[in-house]
Amino acid sequence: MSTEEKSEVSQLKEKLFANTKNGAKRISEEDLTKADEFCEEYKNFLNSAKIEREAVRYAVTLAEDNGFTKFDFNKNYNPGDKVYVVNRNKAVILAVIGRKRSTEGVKLAIAHIDSPRLDLKPNPLYEANDLAFFKTHYYGGIKKYQWTTIPLSLHGVVMLKNGESVNVSFGEDDNDPCLCVTDLLPHLANQQMSNPMVKAFTGEDLNIIIGSRPFKDDKESELVKLNILKILNNKYGIIEEDFLSADLEAVPAFKARDVGFDASMIGAYGHDDRVCAYPALMAAIDCGVPENTVITVLTDKEEIGSDGNTGMQSKYLSYFIEDLAQQDGVEARHIITKSKCLSADVNAAFDPNYASVYEARNSSFINNGVVITKYTGHGGKYDTSDATAEFMSEIRTMLDDANIIWQSGELGKVDAGGGGTIAKYIANLNIDVVDLGVPVLSMHAPFEIVSKIDVYMAYKAFLKFFS
């Protein structure tokens, strides 16, 4: 074979084959620097917004600093006006009014800000053998053993009987104590370790140890519990019954940090889905005066099926669009039908250590950029929205035009398992939607891993979609 023929082959390959070259080899030096810078701010967000309420507070503060105001449906808005709506302190809509009439449709990026965790039960506090514990009910899809013997912090809100709300963030400061779920020593774990993994730990085993020193009194019982309540009462003003009117969530206490000798990745709790929420938030902040009205939604309850009034099956987004419609004197359905949405959620990055569950030709890879997922669901494409060829075409052209490194991905092998996103609920509104987000290693583990390049490409993608 001559050199000339070879070059014809390579030319043909370049023309006809999909580009699968590693994104880290393709990215410009300028974008690589920007990616590293963007991720420093992303790490701050991860550390200051571990739960949905904190993410909402972070988003609102940042939005207000950048000219967003609380939406008032009686007010008339002009192109470039920036507004937000908070839903029950657990979800937020941020919108920038566009130049075009709203009947041209809006552009949506929707990410979720809830992550798997251990929620306290409504009556959590008890004492056993002179140790105090919290009972928990895990939230979302977890491998239970991963949540034992790691430092945990406690976040959320307690509503006192008098209506006062007390914010809790305990165990984050390096000087704070932390909390923990214990595990059995291997010496006595013969029975436990002979169980299949799903049976080695039950939900009722996930009890958090919270104290061991009794209140000094020889006559009474439950003195460790009493001592803990006394401490909680001093610190937060709460009594035992207040746990009933509380949203308290135990999450990993560790901070986000770089992973790898090359610091190319970030390890943290809750990348799924704050790794899309942060870029989608920043795209709304940075989009200027867009053509179409743009809307970033940071929603709640995705990890448990998007049910409830703060999840994407609720009408809160539709109601907001109805308010926009009313301003323009048009019907909401005419806006909605012409709208387009990026369901900003993560996909499973190919993991060579568990290669057998992935189908490599259709998997997303660390460093290969933002991942488009045409459909999620499970066996036989159940429970998903399958984006149309037309919308897929629009999105890939947009990404190529903006020099964004991207890849496509399916969630593992056919019939290996499955999962879903909010895409199908948006599709049910008659909106064009596709999943676009960041590949994650060890998804749903207390410490998940993403690539800095991919995080930045997600931001570029949402920004391009908006502008």
List residues binding Mn ion (CB under 5 A): 272-273, 345
Residues sharing a CB contact under 8 Å with residue 107, sequence separation 6 or more, in sequence order = 290, 292, 293, 294, 295, 339, 340, 341, 465, 466
Q: Which is nearer to Mn ion, 31 or 303 (CB)?
A: 303
Length of the chain: 467
Closest distance between Mn ion and the C-beta of residue 175, in Å?
32
Written in H, E and C, the secondary structure of 46-72 is HHHCCCHHHHHHHHHHHHHHCCCEECC
Q: Which is nearer to Mn ion, 273 or 300 (CB)?
A: 273
Q: Which is nearer to Mn ion, 135 or 444 (CB)?
A: 444
Closest distance between Mn ion and the C-beta of residue 434, in Å?
15
Closest distance between Mn ion and the C-beta of residue 52, in Å?
13
DSSP code for 329: T
Closest distance between Mn ion and the C-beta of residue 272, in Å?
4
Closest distance between Mn ion and the C-beta of residue 364, in Å?
14
Q: Which is nearer to Mn ion, 35 or 111 (CB)?
A: 111
Are residues 435 and 399 in contact, defined by beta-carbon separation less than 8 angstroms?
no
Residues sharing a CB contact under 8 Å with residue 423, sequence separation 6 or more, in sequence order = 341, 343, 345, 376, 384, 385, 387, 433, 434, 435
Q: Which is nearer to Mn ion, 298 or 335 (CB)?
A: 298
Are residues 400 and 392 in contact, defined by beta-carbon separation less than 8 angstroms?
no
- For 284, phi then psi, to 5°, come to -65, -40
Q: Which is nearer to Mn ion, 81 or 303 (CB)?
A: 303
For 258, 259, 451, 455, the CA distances from 262, given in Å and listed in that order, are 9, 8, 11, 16
Q: Which is nearer to Mn ion, 83 or 440 (CB)?
A: 440
Instruction: Measure the CA–CA gap between 258 and 451, rounded to whole angstroms.
Output: 10
Instruction: Measure the CA–CA gap between 262 and 220, rounded to whole angstroms.
Output: 58
Q: Which residue has the CB atom at the shortest distance from Mn ion? A: 273
The helix/strand/coil state of 138 is: strand
For 137, 182, 293, 401, the CA distances from 195, given in Å and listed in that order, are 22, 18, 54, 53
Q: Which is nearer to Mn ion, 81 or 345 (CB)?
A: 345
Q: Which is nearer to Mn ion, 179 or 426 (CB)?
A: 426
Are residues 172 and 199 in contact, defined by beta-carbon separation less than 8 angstroms?
no
Q: Which is nearer to Mn ion, 111 or 229 (CB)?
A: 111
Termini Cα distance of the chain:
49
Output the six-digit token pair for 74: 């009686």
Closest distance between Mn ion and the C-beta of residue 276, in Å?
8
Closest distance between Mn ion and the C-beta of residue 427, in Å?
16
Q: Which is nearer to Mn ion, 140 or 151 (CB)?
A: 140
Closest distance between Mn ion and the C-beta of residue 339, in Å?
21
Q: How many C-beta atoms surround the C-beta of residue 124 within 10 A?
A: 21
Closest distance between Mn ion and the C-beta of residue 243, in Å?
27
Closest distance between Mn ion and the C-beta of residue 437, in Å?
8
Q: Spell 353-368 as b/e; 16+ CB within 10 A means b.
A: eeeeebeeebbbbbbb
Are residues 243 and 125 in contact, defined by beta-carbon separation less than 8 angstroms?
yes
Output the six-digit token pair for 20: 């699968």
Closest distance between Mn ion and the C-beta of residue 441, in Å?
14
